[in-house]
Amino acid sequence: MPPSPRQTLESRIADGTAVVGVLALGYVGLPLVRAFWSAGLRCLGFDTDPAKVEALNRGENYLKHLGGDFAVQMAASPRFEATTDLERLAEADAIVVCVPTPLGPHHEPDLSFVRQTARDIGRRLRPGQLVVLESTTYPGTTRDVMLPALLAAAREQAPQTRPPQPVLGEDLLVAYSPEREDPGRPGSSTQTIPKLVGGLDEASGAAAVALYRHAIAQVIPVSSAEVAEAAKILENVYRAVNIALVNELKVILTRMDIDVWEVIDAAATKPFGFQAFYPGPGLGGHCIPIDPFYLTWKARELGETTQFIELAGQVNTKMPAWVVQRTMLALNQRGKAVNGSRVLVLGLAYKPDVGDVRESPSFELIGQLQTLGAEVDFHDPHTPVVPPTRKYKQLEGKRSVPLDPETLRGYDAVVIATHHTSYDWPLIVSHAPLVVDTRGVTRTVTGDKAHVVMA
């Protein structure tokens, strides 16, 4: 008897001849396709953005934090090709989906990218393909949204090429594996971050585990796709809630003239039962301000509430306004109104050493200061020009100013929003007339700091 589609897939995965298609080559998809390619597998990278596809095929890496010359090597390799041609999805034995999962205007999950991708795959589905969703989402998405969309699109194929209705776990294998990428974190990479994998059924889970084991050092099977989806949400809710907690403490302790960063460092000397989280100007990035609300939406459908998530959201959202208020008071003490003051915001990215400005609180800081009449510039070594954003159209195209003693002296206030490691804090403190530090980074600077305000 010839092998079944599932057996063919399993043996291709086992002997390393499976072709891996990674769909969406962003912060998650690009390092992932690199990991599969580095493991010796043949890879196809799909993206709807022709600029990304062309860049990769020319050997150019557009995500600088990934470093190295991997893009040059991949472009020169017969085992990698990037393409916008979705017809080529049929060439892949395994398709890993890393499309965006943003929030809609009313904080509702926007699964349009997931649905569209499922349709794109379903229309070209052939027996014996594994589809893995990596995008962050609420528990149940893979089974209740992705699978029906795949099957519905498969039914739309032309009658002469249409395969019989695929049987889950036999002709079509579907799993979920959350991405835990933390771009810019030293010492961690796609290959070394342990990977959770849960299938819609046993065979799907096993096939996905076997696939990831080629590229990832530690693969952890869980009993279902739903467990893997929920684990990812738990990780991000945990961060959102704990960051909100230290942000709230920062406001109270600052009013009491107690250094919250010293308090956290002191508490962190306890060898168990405490994990340090640090305050800042607010939450940013594509994950922590967004993903928890996927669960909130799902909970509402079930008639439940997610009070921790919503409270954390409220506290974190208020942080930029608090920083602006501290800046306003500090200027006032120097006899200056915000209106007409020149303010320099250091760091546009939401976290250090990356060029990712999505949902960055720096935008909100700049926007609020501008609304109060301040003339605001920014400096960021990783983002020389403000890219298009949905909310801050007025900032688009604005350029980073140089960072030198003369420039620093020209501002009424310098607000430290992002602690990029390339920043020279003693230089900033010694030349800026007023420093508003939202990251606690000036604490180690010695000398006169009467003009430094923690916020």
Ligand X SMILES: NC(=O)c1ccc[n+]([C@@H]2O[C@H](COP(=O)([O-])OP(=O)(O)OC[C@H]3O[C@@H](n4cnc5c(N)ncnc54)[C@H](O)[C@@H]3O)[C@@H](O)[C@H]2O)c1
Binding site for ligand X (CB under 6 A): 23-29, 46-49, 52, 98-101, 113, 116-117, 135-136, 179, 181, 183, 286-287
Q: Is the Cβ of residue 97 or residue 211 nearer to ligand X in the bound state?
A: 97
Token pair belonging to 90: 């049929």
CA distance 369 to 343: 8
Task: Find the radius of gyration of the CA atoms of the chain.
Answer: 24
Instruction: Answer for the pair 431, 402: CB distance below 8 angstroms, yes or no.
Output: no
Q: How far is the CB of 197 from ligand X (least distance, A)?
A: 15
* Local structure of residue 339 (DSSP, 8 states): T
Q: How far is the CB of 84 from ligand X (least distance, A)?
A: 8
Residue in 41, 4, 50, 51 with CA at minimum distance from that of residue 21:
41
Strand partners, 80: 43
Q: How far is the CB of 41 from ligand X (least distance, A)?
A: 20
Residue count of the chain, please give it.
455
Q: How far is the CB of 149 from ligand X (least distance, A)?
A: 12
Token pair belonging to 422: 């390339």
43 catalytic? Reply is: no
Token pair belonging to 325: 């208020």
CA distance 43 to 81: 7
Residue nearest to ligand X (CB): 26
CA distance 400 to 80: 36
Token pair belonging to 433: 């007339």
Q: How far is the CB of 31 from ligand X (least distance, A)?
A: 9
Q: How far is the CB of 285 from ligand X (least distance, A)?
A: 7
Instruction: Kindly tell me the burial class for residue 272, based on how many C-beta atoms sit within 10 Å of its own C-beta (0-12, 13-18, 19 or more).
Output: exposed
Token pair belonging to 328: 């306003």
Marked catalytic residue, from 287, 312, 345, 428 = 287
Beta strand 375-379 with 342-346 is parallel
Q: Is the Cβ of residue 197 or residue 408 nearer to ligand X in the bound state?
A: 197
**What is the phi/psi pair of residue 42, to 5°?**
-80, 130
Q: Which residues contact 123 (CB under 8 A, 6 or more apart)?
A: 153, 154, 156, 157
Q: Cite the active site residues.
A: 287
